[in-house]
Amino acid sequence: MEKTKQIKKRKFTGTVVKTAMNKTISVLVVEKRVHPKYGKAYKQGRKFHVHDEKQAAKEGEKVVFVECRPLSKTKRWRLLEIVKSTEKVKK
């Protein structure tokens, strides 16, 4: 019996910046880095196209997404969960 090797998938947390596409959201991931020579801290952002099957995410929400098989030319990520929702509680 052969054992299959389990591949650890990358996981990122970011903010939804665009929801105009069908079942796809654009997520901005901001990383803090330190310049190797000068030591100055700066922020660097990357955008990812993430597959959202249920179209549940809205702009401004914090989401967690993981790596998956290629779904299109630019989509290689799948929505895992919505961490922080932007909906306000009505009293």
The residues facing 63 across adjacent strands are 14, 82
User: Which residue, 38, 41, 65, is CA-closest to 51?
Assistant: 65
Q: Do the Cβ atoms of 16 and 59 come closer than 8 Å?
A: yes
Average pLDDT, the chain: 92
Q: Quick check: is 50 in a domain?
A: yes
Given this model, what pLDDT does residue 88 score?
60
Q: Domain of 22: which CATH number?
A: 2.40.50.140
Domain that holds residue 76: 11-84
CA torsion 12-9-49-73 (nearest 10°) is 160
CA 5 from centre of chain: 25
State the total domains in the chain: 1
**Tokens coding 88:** 């306000």
pLDDT in tens, 11-31: 999 999 999 999 999 999 999
